[in-house]
Amino acid sequence: MVVIRGVVVSKQLVYDPTGTRYIKIDIIEEKELPGPVAAFSAQDEQAAQLMREVMPLVTQIVRSLPFGGGKISVPRVTLWLTDEEVEIFGDVDVGETITISVEGGVISIKPES
Protein backbone atom coordinates (compact mmCIF):
# COMPACT_ATOMS: atom_id res chain seq x y z
CA MET A 1 0.00 0.00 0.00
CA VAL A 2 1.25 3.45 -0.95
CA VAL A 3 -0.15 6.59 0.68
CA ILE A 4 0.25 9.91 -1.10
CA ARG A 5 -0.26 13.23 0.69
CA GLY A 6 -2.00 15.41 -1.89
CA VAL A 7 -2.98 19.06 -1.80
CA VAL A 8 -5.97 20.61 -3.61
CA VAL A 9 -4.50 23.36 -5.79
CA SER A 10 -7.39 24.22 -8.08
CA LYS A 11 -11.18 24.16 -8.22
CA GLN A 12 -12.87 25.05 -11.45
CA LEU A 13 -16.43 25.07 -12.76
CA VAL A 14 -16.82 23.34 -16.15
CA TYR A 15 -19.79 22.36 -18.29
CA ASP A 16 -20.24 19.42 -20.67
CA PRO A 17 -22.14 19.77 -23.99
CA THR A 18 -25.39 18.69 -22.31
CA GLY A 19 -25.08 21.60 -19.87
CA THR A 20 -24.26 19.48 -16.81
CA ARG A 21 -22.08 21.31 -14.32
CA TYR A 22 -18.88 19.73 -12.96
CA ILE A 23 -16.42 20.87 -10.33
CA LYS A 24 -12.92 20.07 -11.58
CA ILE A 25 -10.59 19.44 -8.64
CA ASP A 26 -6.82 19.25 -9.17
CA ILE A 27 -4.77 17.44 -6.53
CA ILE A 28 -0.98 17.64 -6.57
CA GLU A 29 1.83 16.18 -4.50
CA GLU A 30 4.61 18.38 -3.21
CA LYS A 31 8.06 16.95 -3.78
CA GLU A 32 11.44 18.12 -2.54
CA LEU A 33 13.88 18.68 -5.35
CA PRO A 34 17.09 16.81 -4.61
CA GLY A 35 20.09 19.11 -4.13
CA PRO A 36 23.24 18.79 -6.21
CA VAL A 37 24.92 15.44 -5.73
CA ALA A 38 28.60 15.43 -4.96
CA ALA A 39 30.22 12.92 -7.31
CA PHE A 40 33.97 12.80 -7.00
CA SER A 41 36.52 10.17 -6.32
CA ALA A 42 37.87 10.20 -2.80
CA GLN A 43 41.21 8.79 -3.75
CA ASP A 44 42.97 12.03 -2.94
CA GLU A 45 42.33 12.76 0.73
CA GLN A 46 43.15 16.44 0.34
CA ALA A 47 40.72 16.90 -2.61
CA ALA A 48 38.00 15.08 -0.67
CA GLN A 49 38.51 17.41 2.27
CA LEU A 50 38.28 20.44 -0.04
CA MET A 51 35.05 19.14 -1.61
CA ARG A 52 33.47 18.65 1.81
CA GLU A 53 34.25 22.27 2.62
CA VAL A 54 32.96 23.65 -0.68
CA MET A 55 29.74 21.54 -0.95
CA PRO A 56 27.58 23.53 1.51
CA LEU A 57 28.39 26.72 -0.42
CA VAL A 58 27.52 25.10 -3.76
CA THR A 59 24.22 23.77 -2.35
CA GLN A 60 23.39 27.24 -1.06
CA ILE A 61 24.08 28.87 -4.44
CA VAL A 62 22.04 26.27 -6.35
CA ARG A 63 19.09 26.67 -3.96
CA SER A 64 19.07 30.43 -4.57
CA LEU A 65 18.64 29.91 -8.33
CA PRO A 66 15.11 29.66 -9.72
CA PHE A 67 14.19 25.95 -10.00
CA GLY A 68 17.60 25.18 -8.50
CA GLY A 69 16.09 23.58 -5.44
CA GLY A 70 13.19 23.63 -3.06
CA LYS A 71 9.77 22.19 -3.85
CA ILE A 72 8.02 21.21 -7.02
CA SER A 73 4.42 20.13 -7.43
CA VAL A 74 3.54 17.00 -9.35
CA PRO A 75 -0.08 16.43 -10.47
CA ARG A 76 -1.47 13.21 -8.99
CA VAL A 77 -5.28 13.22 -9.35
CA THR A 78 -7.84 15.35 -11.17
CA LEU A 79 -11.53 14.80 -10.44
CA TRP A 80 -14.64 16.05 -12.23
CA LEU A 81 -17.56 15.86 -9.78
CA THR A 82 -21.18 16.79 -10.33
CA ASP A 83 -22.93 18.97 -7.75
CA GLU A 84 -24.59 15.83 -6.33
CA GLU A 85 -21.25 14.02 -6.00
CA VAL A 86 -19.62 17.03 -4.32
CA GLU A 87 -22.48 16.98 -1.79
CA ILE A 88 -21.95 13.27 -1.05
CA PHE A 89 -18.14 13.40 -1.02
CA GLY A 90 -18.01 16.62 0.99
CA ASP A 91 -16.77 19.94 -0.25
CA VAL A 92 -12.99 20.34 -0.37
CA ASP A 93 -11.28 23.67 -0.70
CA VAL A 94 -8.06 24.86 -2.25
CA GLY A 95 -5.12 24.21 0.09
CA GLU A 96 -6.77 21.24 1.82
CA THR A 97 -4.83 18.03 2.27
CA ILE A 98 -6.18 14.90 0.60
CA THR A 99 -4.97 11.38 1.31
CA ILE A 100 -4.63 9.12 -1.73
CA SER A 101 -4.14 5.42 -0.90
CA VAL A 102 -3.14 2.89 -3.52
CA GLU A 103 -3.88 -0.71 -2.55
CA GLY A 104 -4.29 -3.91 -4.51
CA GLY A 105 -6.93 -3.04 -7.06
CA VAL A 106 -8.33 0.05 -5.30
CA ILE A 107 -7.39 3.71 -5.15
CA SER A 108 -9.11 5.64 -2.32
CA ILE A 109 -9.26 9.40 -2.13
CA LYS A 110 -10.35 11.12 1.09
CA PRO A 111 -9.81 14.45 2.80
CA GLU A 112 -7.39 14.34 5.73
CA SER A 113 -9.41 14.51 8.93
Under 8 Å between Cβ of 27 and 100 = yes
Nearer to its own copies, 78 or 97 (CB): 78
User: Beta strands of 1-113 (E only): which ranges?
Assistant: 2-15, 21-32, 71-82, 97-103, 106-111
Give the nearest distance from C-beta 51 to its own copies in angstroms.
23
Compute the distance between CA of residue 46 and CA of residue 56 in angstroms, rounded to an integer.
17
Whether the CB-CB separation of 86 and 23 falls below 8 Å is answered with yes
24 to 63: interface string for its own copies, x by CB under 8 A = -------x-xx-----------------------------
What's the closest the beta carbon of residue 33 comes to its own copies, in angstroms?
A: 6
Stretch that binds its own copies, among 16-24, 36-44, 45-53, 54-62 (CB under 8 A): 16-24
**Separation between Cα atoms, residue 105 and residue 51, nearest integer Å:** 48
Amino acid at site 110: K
Residues that bind its own copies (CB under 8 A): 1-2, 16-18, 20, 22, 31, 33-34, 67, 72, 74-82, 84-85, 88-90, 102-111
